[in-house]
Chains A and B, each alone.
Chain A
Amino acid sequence: MTDTVTITIDGQDFEVPKGMNLVDAAKLHGIGIPVFCYHPKLDPVGMCRMCLVELGNVAIDRTTGAPELDEQGNPVIRWFPKLQTACTQTVSQGMVLRTTSDMVVEGRENILEFLLTSHPLDCPVCDKGGECPLQNLTMAYGPGESRFIYDDKIRLAKHVPLGKLIYLDRERCIQCARCTRFCDEIVGDDVLAFHERGRRLQIVTISDPPFDTKFSGNTTDICPVGALTTTDFRFGARPWELTEVSTICPYCPVGCNLNASTRMDREFGGKAMIKRIMPRQNERVNEIWICDKGRFGHHHSRHEERLLAPLMRNKSGELVEVEWPAVYKAIAKQLKAHGDQAGFVGDSTLSNEDLWELRRLAELSGGSPRLGLWPATMSGGDVVAQVGVGSETRLQDLGPGSVILVMASDFEEEAPIWWLQVKQAADRGAKVVVANARPTKLDRYASAVIHYRYDEAVGVLNSFTAPLLSGDGQLGQGNGWGALQSDLQNAEVTHADTANLLASAENLVIFLGSEGLTLEQHAELMQAAANLLIVSGHVGRPNNGLIPVWPGANVQGAWDMGFSAEATADLLANPPALWVIGGADVAGEDIRMATALEQAEFVVVTAQFMTPTAAHADIVLPRQSFAERAGTYTNGLRRVQRFYPAQGPIGDALPDWKIFAHVSAQMGGPRPPVAAGTIFRDIAQRVERYIGMDYTRLAWFEPQFPDVGGDDLYYGGTAYSNYGGLGLQWPAEAEAEQPQFSVRPVRTAAPQTDGLTLVPVWVLFDRGHLFEKSELMHHRMPQPYAAFNPDDAARLGLTDGDRVTLAVEGHELTVTAQVGDDNPAGAVLLPRRLSGDATLSTPAACTVQKIESMQKVEG
């Protein structure tokens, strides 16, 4: 049996994969069959009838089962008497298609004439005009003129809000159901539906709050007309005025490829300005989807509160504007004085180039560099380097036979597009195992759900590993096998079925977060995951291995550049006199950091805004946002990806690398490099993992199938083709020809005490200092709260909605209590970054006090 069949399209023979539908099969060979409702990421429905073709099959003799032959010995073709929809038919051997016959041409003209009877003629004011599949296909296949009388056109509401982010124009909608199918099939959020029937059929939102999904913006991309538009972009610009710039999302470890549509804009002093963010197709990363945080979270790049000039404290202690050379000198002076006691912290939004120059600066300052990364919630960069998921892993390849374990993570909140891809893998037949102390949304797609106490996390992984150690261990004969064996020989097997499922999986991918774990505990959990992967043989090949759910876009890059969460912890334990902080709002997010900075002698901060951290600083340096400069981020799958300058510069802000390089020069280092690419060349020579990479190679691209973002708008969406680069992955050690594995027994956490533990959790739509600047997203950001288990709440005398004071490490936080059955006992879940108040990065003991004297609201 071969995996391909031969079909004939317009007289030419083509080899196409079995099971493919006719639209894709034709496109694979460059033959266009126009579509509206069909989308290669969605199941075909045959609604719009645009893809009509003439179709014939090989006639089969019923008695013999063999193809009937004519006098010349050629197979007899039996033609369907009527036109068939190509999207709902799959290829079969010998199938014959006509896509250009008179019958087909007329059929398409007829469908377009029908579609246009109800479609308004408002292309000149329509946001989709210029990149509209309906416009394009009308030009290509339309009848030229309509016989429909204009006054008979149906008139419908043109500004129907579906939530606060998306507007529906009911006149423009052609009822293709792509948006409802996206919500149903891809996301699984039942938020959009058809209402009524016939010509009255219309899209409505059926959720409360309306359009309640984290992925709503994608519907505007796949909408083949201008019916769905975002509040962010509608009436903002015409597509042909826009310049497309490739960029990378700065928010989470997925590393979604983005496309910034920019225009020289009056509102931005005539400089290039981001008008919208769109997905850029990368089938290895985000396919064609992005979440609403990535799409609407770009406003910080040009927010009016951006810092425009360097600030330095004067004699009376006020921050005043100064020139760049003065601050370089001042910092250099401080570093020369305190260099061996300096601490350096790099944020997850810093590019590899920024981090590299920060490291160079640290190295020049003397002593052994103390390089902390932020947020410092997850350990295990070394473990990832060893057993990280194999190169060329594509989450969309996971299906039957694959098992995906997601542990210690509220996955949709922490890495939305991975969540989306894992959900779809489950739909395809992959088994998903979710392990956490509390239910999360992924549970509904899970084959097995394990709820443990936070202190039992390591034990859960050990119980999976233990049964696999019974033999001699043919695979994992590396270091530490014996020690692990004896350590786990008495381990309790608590989830035998799941252990079996994991062990027997053809492919096993583990996503690991750090919810409820201290840094030390998380280091052990990462090692426990490595043990399991090595012992079960799920390392060193594609679609197998560990993917850390890092707490930011470039945490992986920070590890690669020599930064670590342990170093951050060490900086807190032994505070330096001088802090140099790149980009991070450490004091605004973490009470321990805030305390440490208060006690520091001198603090230097690069910042986009006057954050609490900047307010603590002696020198504040205006840094450029991701939108104004070039750089690279390394995502959670270790893919190094380039981003390009999209926006004009603001004030005197500079990229972090330039700031650090200038200070280095002031300290006697080399002259500052001229461009980010130069620094990357330096990195590629000195960081082993990046050897062989350079900006040109990172920018490689190839045709991706299905070509959703194609310039021909073939599949009728506005995702963008990837011309900015598909990025390069560095291989994990397990992929070496003769990998050196090491396993080791891991310490389990001390059992939780009776008291309450404050457990920081992530919320996607948070009030982090960058995302908060997107005011259109404020309605999606929850009010600050702490979540309690009902039993704990009863003991504390709390009910849902009470105001409480949380006391932790000498600090007090006031929030609203939420009581729910899903919350684990003994833990107080406190989302990070929901208010201006600093919280915690890692768990700590806390006490809770209810605020009794509620002031009566007047009126």
Chain B
Amino acid sequence: MAHILLRDLDIPDIWQFDTYVANGGYEGLKQAIGNHTPAEVIQIVLDANLRGRGGAGFPTGRKWSFIPQNEAVKYVVVNADESEPGTFKDRQLLEKNPHQVIEGAMIAAYAIQATAVYIYCRGEFWDLAHALEERIEEARQANLVGENVLGSGWNCPMFVHLGAGAYICGEESALLNSLQGLLGQPRVRPPFPAQKGGGLYYEPTVVNNVETLANVPWILVNGADAFKQIGTSESPGPKIFCMSGHIARPGNYELPLGITFRELIFEHAGGIPNGKQLKGILPSGASGPVLRATDEVLDSPLTYESVAKLGSTLGSASFILMDEDTDMVWAAAKMAHFFKHESCGKCTPCREGTYWLERIYERMMRGEGTEHDLHLLNSVPRQMVGVVLCALGDFAANPVLSTLKNFPDEYERYIRQRPVREQTADTLQDYARKEAGEHPAAVGEGGL
């Protein structure tokens, strides 16, 4: 079957404007503007039950419908701050099939009658961002972006903005702050981005993931019913699965939602190399709970609902696979370090909790872990969950709690046999202490 999203696999030159148009590109935008009112476009996307591909799986049409129609200024923001460990799908879309994202964003903008579209790229995407600006210019010259789009009288310029390299700016309200030039910290909600006061420059704003928007042109051309033919009724449509870790053929795979873990890992991605057994699965990067690769898990379908039933999340479907030789405590330590490094520091439980967790893992990596530490690992993350300002604090608890639950024996080993992983411990130590700005000289007088 031809790809819907990763069309570059079928047509390598599709990043070029002419090739894209020659292969049916911008038909969706033309149909939206030519044949439908904005309200109809929202209805079509609602009918298709397209769910957000950024991780939360919120119905995209619903999100668009929250935007108040009578506001003068409204924005669409494309979340291209793809920072989740193990996620690299948006990058391929923006690099290899950028016009489809631009088209999807313009359809979203038309649906809410936006004033402008901003594409927020993570800081490391600087080369991609410059190329994207050229693609936008091509679309503008073809009257698909900018003033009087397709003669409709509606103006909507599109801009690319580069972040400064912060995971938290993938969180939509932190992203909006960063886009405004403020510190990348999440906002208190309500007001939500769709409401007056909550969005970009405090105007109603739709924030959509790159992959979500890439689905939209196809839906406009082929209809909601055709979209629902793909995948399951609760989770329709194609999904890009990012495969990394201990896997034979790492990379992006576009497959319908509803296939099983086993099909994805063993049939499509080639299974585990070197004849090893699969032990742990991270289905949604570092932020989702780790699953133990049991038969029950492997035979479960990949939908938002069924992965939730297993006690994890499908999220952005970035699979990090770990074979039988993987030290799960070590893996959890690495993730604890990641979240400590990326916590924005705005709210207390996340700022202090991630720091504390890293300290405990550092001790374990030095072979100094105790029964007390095990007790702390069971309780500190629970003190964070649910009382934090944004989801990052909840995510930070996941790798700890899920490895404790699924691999208790490995933690026991760290307490009883106390293996030493000095190098890992040093990484944790260095980042935690030196980057924190500790200056021994400054501690001096009056210090502790």
Q: Mark A128-157, 1 if CB is under 8 A from B, else 0.
A: 000000000000000000011100111111
Interface stretch among A195-203, A512-520, A533-541?
A195-203
State in angstroms the CA–CA spacing of A88 and B346 once bound together. Answer: 15
Closest approach, in angstroms, between the C-beta of B81 and any C-beta of chain A?
15
A155 B448 Cβ-Cβ under 8 A? yes
- By a CB distance below 8 angstroms, the chain A residues around B437 are 156-157, 170, 196, 200, 202
Q: Does B72 contact A (CB under 8 A)?
A: no
State in angstroms the CA–CA spacing of A478 and B289 once bound together. Answer: 81
B183 A194 Cβ-Cβ under 8 A? yes
State in angstroms the CA–CA spacing of A152 and B448 once bound together. Answer: 13
- By a CB distance below 8 angstroms, the chain B residues around A175 are 345-346, 348, 351
- B263-287 contacts to A (CB < 8 Å): none
- B346-391 contacts to A (CB < 8 Å): 346-349, 351-356, 359, 372, 376, 383, 386-389
Q: Does A237 contact B (CB under 8 A)?
A: no
- By a CB distance below 8 angstroms, the chain A residues around B356 are 114, 117, 148, 152
State in angstroms the CA–CA spacing of A220 and B421 once bound together. Answer: 45
Instruction: Knowing A155-B443, A197-B168 are in contact, say whether A115-B386 is a contact too (CB < 8 A).
Output: no
Q: Does A159 contact B (CB under 8 A)?
A: yes
State in angstroms the CA–CA spacing of A716 and B184 once bound together. Answer: 27
State in angstroms the CA–CA spacing of A174 and B349 once bound together. Answer: 12
- By a CB distance below 8 angstroms, the chain A residues around B346 are 47, 175, 201
State in angstroms the CA–CA spacing of A201 and B340 once bound together. Answer: 12
Q: Does A497 contact B (CB under 8 A)?
A: no
Q: Does B22 contact A (CB under 8 A)?
A: no
State in angstroms the CA–CA spacing of A155 and B440 once bound together. Answer: 8
Count residues on chain B whose CB falls below 8 Å from chain A CBs. Answer: 43
A111 B438 Cβ-Cβ under 8 A? no
State in angstroms the CA–CA spacing of A147 and B166 once bound together. Answer: 31
- By a CB distance below 8 angstroms, the chain A residues around B184 are 197
Chain A: CB-nearest residue to B438: A155
Interface stretch among A118-126, A383-391, A592-600, A655-663?
A118-126
- By a CB distance below 8 angstroms, the chain A residues around B188 are 44-46, 88
B389 A199 Cβ-Cβ under 8 A? no
B387 A152 Cβ-Cβ under 8 A? no
Q: Does A49 contact B (CB under 8 A)?
A: yes
A198 B387 Cβ-Cβ under 8 A? no
- By a CB distance below 8 angstroms, the chain B residues around A149 are 359
Q: Mark B434-448, 1 if CB is under 8 A from A, else 0.
A: 011111001101111
A110 B183 Cβ-Cβ under 8 A? no
Contacts A/B (CB < 8 Å), 15 sampled: A47-B347, A49-B347, A49-B389, A114-B349, A117-B355, A152-B356, A152-B359, A159-B446, A174-B348, A175-B346, A194-B345, A198-B345, A198-B355, A199-B355, A201-B344
Closest approach, in angstroms, between the C-beta of B54 and any C-beta of chain A?
21
Q: Mark A401-437, 1 if CB is under 8 A from B, else 0.
A: 0000000000000000000000000000000000000
A154 B436 Cβ-Cβ under 8 A? yes
State in angstroms the CA–CA spacing of A156 and B448 once bound together. Answer: 10
Q: Does A52 contact B (CB under 8 A)?
A: yes
- By a CB distance below 8 angstroms, the chain A residues around B433 are 154
- By a CB distance below 8 angstroms, the chain B residues around A81 are 386
State in angstroms the CA–CA spacing of A113 and B432 once bound together. Answer: 19
- By a CB distance below 8 angstroms, the chain A residues around B386 are 81-83
| Residue of B166, B352, B359, B437 most packed against chain A (CB within 10 A) | B352
Cβ-Cβ contact count across A and B, 8 Å cutoff:
133
Q: Which of A52, A113, A125, A200 contacts B436 (CB 8 A)?
A: A200
B372 A47 Cβ-Cβ under 8 A? no
Q: Does A193 contact B (CB under 8 A)?
A: yes
State in angstroms the CA–CA spacing of A147 and B380 once bound together. Answer: 10
Q: Mark A168-199, 1 if CB is under 8 A from B, else 0.
A: 00110011000000000000000001101111
- By a CB distance below 8 angstroms, the chain B residues around A200 are 345, 435-437
Instruction: Knowing A156-B436, A199-B343, A200-B345 are in contact, say whether A115-B352 is a contact too (CB < 8 A).
Output: yes
Q: Does B96 contact A (CB under 8 A)?
A: no
State in angstroms the CA–CA spacing of A160 and B435 once bound together. Answer: 17
- By a CB distance below 8 angstroms, the chain B residues around A120 are 448
State in angstroms the CA–CA spacing of A726 and B436 once bound together. Answer: 47
- By a CB distance below 8 angstroms, the chain A residues around B239 are none
- By a CB distance below 8 angstroms, the chain A residues around B74 are none
Q: Does B341 contact A (CB under 8 A)?
A: yes
- By a CB distance below 8 angstroms, the chain B residues around A113 are 383
State in angstroms the CA–CA spacing of A174 and B348 once bound together. Answer: 8
Q: Does B254 contact A (CB under 8 A)?
A: no
Q: Does A48 contact B (CB under 8 A)?
A: yes
Q: Does B342 contact A (CB under 8 A)?
A: yes
Main secondary structure of the interface of A (DSSP, over half): loop
State in angstroms the CA–CA spacing of A174 and B388 once bound together. Answer: 16
Q: Does A107 contact B (CB under 8 A)?
A: yes
State in angstroms the CA–CA spacing of A44 and B432 once bound together. Answer: 30
- By a CB distance below 8 angstroms, the chain A residues around B355 are 117-118, 154, 198-199
- By a CB distance below 8 angstroms, the chain B residues around A45 are 188
State in angstroms the CA–CA spacing of A539 and B305 once bound together. Answer: 68
- By a CB distance below 8 angstroms, the chain A residues around B348 are 47-50, 111, 114-115, 174-175
- By a CB distance below 8 angstroms, the chain A residues around B372 are 147
| Residue of A48, A121, A200 most packed against chain B (CB within 10 A) | A200
State in angstroms the CA–CA spacing of A125 and B168 once bound together. Answer: 37
B349 A199 Cβ-Cβ under 8 A? no
Q: Which of B168, B185, B340, B387 contacts A49 (CB 8 A)?
A: B387
State in angstroms the CA–CA spacing of A198 and B352 once bound together. Answer: 8
B447 A199 Cβ-Cβ under 8 A? no
Q: Does A336 contact B (CB under 8 A)?
A: no
Chain B: CB-nearest residue to A202: B437
Chain B: CB-nearest residue to A121: B448
- By a CB distance below 8 angstroms, the chain B residues around A29 are none
- By a CB distance below 8 angstroms, the chain B residues around A148 are 356
State in angstroms the CA–CA spacing of A118 and B347 once bound together. Answer: 14
A199 B387 Cβ-Cβ under 8 A? no
- By a CB distance below 8 angstroms, the chain B residues around A82 are 386-387
Q: Does A303 contact B (CB under 8 A)?
A: no
- By a CB distance below 8 angstroms, the chain B residues around A156 are 436-439, 442-443
| Residue of A82, A114, A160 most packed against chain B (CB within 10 A) | A114
Closest approach, in angstroms, between the C-beta of A231 and any C-beta of chain B?
14
State in angstroms the CA–CA spacing of A45 and B343 once bound together. Answer: 17
Instruction: Knowing A46-B188, A155-B438, A158-B442 are in contact, say whether A201-B351 is a contact too (CB < 8 A).
Output: yes
- By a CB distance below 8 angstroms, the chain A residues around B388 are 49
Q: Mark B221-232, 1 if CB is under 8 A from A, else 0.
A: 000000000000
Chain A: CB-nearest residue to B435: A200
Chain A: CB-nearest residue to B375: A147
Chain B: CB-nearest residue to A110: B383
Chain A: CB-nearest residue to B183: A194
A158 B387 Cβ-Cβ under 8 A? no
3 pairs of A and B residues whose beta carbons are closest in the complex: A201-B345, A157-B442, A114-B352
- A596-651 contacts to B (CB < 8 Å): none
Chain B: CB-nearest residue to A106: B383
- By a CB distance below 8 angstroms, the chain A residues around B340 are 198-199
- By a CB distance below 8 angstroms, the chain B residues around A50 are 348
State in angstroms the CA–CA spacing of A8 and B192 once bound together. Answer: 27
State in angstroms the CA–CA spacing of A82 and B188 once bound together. Answer: 16
State in angstroms the CA–CA spacing of A82 and B391 once bound together. Answer: 13
Closest approach, in angstroms, between the C-beta of B187 and any C-beta of chain A?
9
B349 A111 Cβ-Cβ under 8 A? yes
Instruction: Knowing A114-B352, A117-B355, A193-B183 are in contact, say whether A157-B343 is a contact too (CB < 8 A).
Output: no
- B229-267 contacts to A (CB < 8 Å): none
Q: Mark B405-441, 1 if CB is under 8 A from A, else 0.
A: 0000000000000000000000000001101111100
- By a CB distance below 8 angstroms, the chain B residues around A158 are 442-443, 446-447
Q: Mark B326-349, 1 if CB is under 8 A from A, else 0.
A: 000000000000001111111111
State in angstroms the CA–CA spacing of A202 and B437 once bound together. Answer: 9
Instruction: Knowing A52-B387, A149-B359, A158-B442 are in contact, say whether A46-B347 is a contact too (CB < 8 A).
Output: yes
Closest approach, in angstroms, between the C-beta of A733 and any C-beta of chain B?
45
State in angstroms the CA–CA spacing of A155 and B443 once bound together. Answer: 7
Chain A: CB-nearest residue to B343: A198
